[in-house]
Amino acid sequence: PHSRLRHSGARTMVPLLPLLLLLLPAAHGAVEHVAYTPFLTKTPVLEGLTTGSTFVLEQPRCVFDKYSNVDIWLVVALEKTAATFNNSVAPGTAESAFQNFPNSVPAYMTLNATLANYPCPKPAGDITVLRVGSETSCTWDNARPTCNGPLPGPGPYLVKFLALKGSEPVAETDWSQPIMLRTAKSPNSISTTDGGHSAGMIALTTILSILFAILLAGLVAML
Amino acid sequence: MAKSEDCIHILQGLLVFGNVVIGMCGIALTAECIYFVSDPHGLYPLLEATENDDIYAAAWIGIFVGFALFALSILGIIGIIKSDRTLLLVYIILMLITFAFEMASCITAATHRDFLTPDLFLKQMLERYQKAEPANNNDKWMIEGVTKTWDKLMLQNHCCGVLGPSDWQEYTSAFRFTHNDADFPWPRKCCVMDAQGLPVNLDGCKLGVPGYYNSNGCYDAISGPVNTHAWGVAWFGFAILCWIFCVLLGTMFYWSGIEY
């Protein structure tokens, strides 16, 4: 089971330093790339790994260890809009609110945690999972933009982890492989007329009919 | 002639023995069918809701046929010992009528057993389990029957759905209409329960962690008793009918040999 912390999402103003901007040509070069791809939990085998509106990710243990004092957020996007996600979007705002996904924002940020939630190394035998989509109480609550609400469609979704120090992104993982959720069929598609008859039933009917016919013939013969 | 006297006595003896067996089998058939009709496994509401409960009709016919066989066997024994033509004629005709009824019962049980496939129960479970808005009184009563039976089945047999919990994920259902997918990937009764009837670990159950939810389907728990019921009625009835066939042929032969 995972733990989640509420992050108050305070935004600090970053003073604009044109000189620094010239010296550091790529502003988002400050975001380091961690070679880790989020993946769905492999052990133990979970029946509910993907359902109609949730999926289960493995926790990113021993991934962000070299960063201290970071908040690790999960970014969830649709496969087709993931490329338009900007790392400098702040969590807890309308630009990353679950309630606005996927209508007006390409991705949302949720499942805030610190390194204390993801101790390294992972104790053997522990189940370390993150269930994306488990919070149903805040699906429509605009006051909770970091809601871990049920996903609105079957996807496919891409996720990545983003580490923020204060409000600056410092590290990110790769985008995951596309995660497709389950779609449910209508029960009307189940055919119940295709029975066929078992061999036993055919044998039974045939033999009994023959026996009855013989008895009737015998009755007629004796009368 | 002594030889033909002996033959007649042997035939009489065999027919009396045949009738005694028929009488005992008649009682056994009645007892067996009463057992099935009493529904010890509580599966009748499921069959009722499929509107395909003819294996119960077959069992009811079996009860009355069993009694009839017992009564007729006594009539037969008396008729054979007294060598009375009228009694034996009545016996033969009534026995033929009973034969026809029992034949109907066996064929009904066997045929309707073939309808009870996993898909039938699956469709009914998805359409009726915990359905919130009954269309009419009949529907309401079927819904209650199906819901109670499934709850009891899943609790007692530690199973979930017909083929497994994935039934609830693969198909939409009346249950899904009122219970959202994130909180209820499958009904709570699929969770491993503690002594108080509460899930041991609700999160584990929702995730589908082995050990906290029931991963088997309930089809075996349903088809086992239903098969026993159907085959018990059909094949035991078939065996009795084969025996009756022999006894009736012998009686007809005996009857035609009696002098006026």
* Domain layout of chain B by residue ranges: 1-116+225-257, 118-129+141-218
Q: What is the pLDDT of residue A6?
A: 38
Q: What is the mean pLDDT of residues A179-186?
A: 91
A193: exposed, middle or buried (Cβ count in 10 Å: 0-12, 13-18, 19+): exposed
pLDDT of residue A193 exceeding 80, the answer is no
pLDDT in the model for residue A191 = 83
Cβ of B96 within 8 Å of Cβ of A51? The answer is no
Average pLDDT over residues B201-223: 91
B189-208 residues touching A, CB cutoff 8 A? 203-204, 206-208
Per-residue pLDDT, averaged over B54-80, amounts to 93
Query: Which range is least confidently modeled, A3-12, A200-209, B31-40, B96-105?
Result: A3-12
pLDDT of amino acid B2: 58
Boundaries of every domain in chain A: 29-182
Which residue, among A173, A176, A183, has the nearest Cα to A56 in the 3D structure?
A176
List the helix and strand counts (H, then E) for chain A: 2, 7
Residues of chain A in contact with residue B248, where contact means CB-CB under 8 angstroms, are: 215, 218
Q: What is the pLDDT of residues A18-52, one digit of tens each?
A: 444 444 444 445 788 889 999 999 888 999 999 99
Smallest Cβ–Cβ distance between B241 and the set A133, A192, A211 belongs to: A211
Chain B residues with CB-CB distance to A48 below 8 A = 185, 206-208
Task: For chains A and B, count residue pairs whose Cβ atoms are closer than 8 Å.
Answer: 138
pLDDT, position B260: 61
Given CB atoms, is A208 within the 8 Å cutoff of chain B? yes
Using a CB-CB cut-off of 8 Å, the residues of chain A touching B93 are 219
pLDDT over 60 (residue A128): yes
B3: pLDDT strictly greater than 70: no
Residues 150-179 of chain A with CB under 8 A from chain B are 150
Q: What is the pLDDT of residue B34?
A: 94
8 A C-beta contact, residue B89 and residue B255: yes
Grade residue A123 by pLDDT with cuts at 50, 70 and 90: confident
Q: How far is B88 from chain A (nearest CA, A)?
A: 12
| Confidence band of A142 (pLDDT split at 50, 70, 90) | confident
Q: What is the pLDDT of residue A9?
A: 38
pLDDT in the model for residue A200: 85
Question: In chain B, which residues have their Cβ closer than 8 Å to the Cβ of A135?
Answer: 182
Residue B19 CB partners (closer than 8 Å, separation 6+):
B73, B74, B76, B77, B80, B247
Mean pLDDT on A208-221:
93
- Which of A4, A46, A51, A132 to mutate: most B Cβ within 10 Å? A51
B241 CB within 8 Å of a chain A CB: yes
Side-by-side strand order, sheet with A157-165 = A32-33, A168-172, A157-165, A71-78, A107-114
| Residues facing residue B171 across a β-bridge | A185
Instruction: Look at A54 and B181 and tell me if their CB atoms are within 8 Å.
Output: yes
Residues 54 through 83 of chain A touching chain B, CB cutoff 8 Å: 54, 56
Pick from A221, B249, B12: nearest CA to B4 = B12
The per-residue pLDDT for B256 is 87
- Burial of A105 (C-beta count, 10 Å sphere; 0-12/13-18/19+): buried
pLDDT (0 to 100) of residue B4: 78
B contact residues 210-229, partner A, Cβ 8 Å cutoff? 210, 213, 215
Residues A5, A25: contact at Cβ < 8 Å?
no
pLDDT at A25: 43
Q: Where are the alpha helices (DSSP H) in chain A?
A: 18-23, 199-222
Disruptive mutation site among A2, A45, A46, A47 for chain B (greatest number of B CBs within 10 Å): A47
pLDDT, average across residues A59-88: 88
**Partners of A75 in the β-ladder:** A109, A160
What one-character DSSP code corresponds to residue A184?
P
Cβ–Cβ gap A185/B170 under 8 Å: yes
- Can you tell me the mean pLDDT for B103-125? 90
Write down the architecture of domain B118-129+141-218 according to CATH: Orthogonal Bundle (1.10)
pLDDT at B14 over 80: yes
Chain A's closest residue to B50, CA to CA, is A192
B103, containing H or E segment? helix B85-115
- ω into residue B134 within 30 of 0, thus cis? no
Percentage, residues of chain B above pLDDT 90? 68
ipTM of the complex: 0.85
- pLDDT above 50 (res A1): no
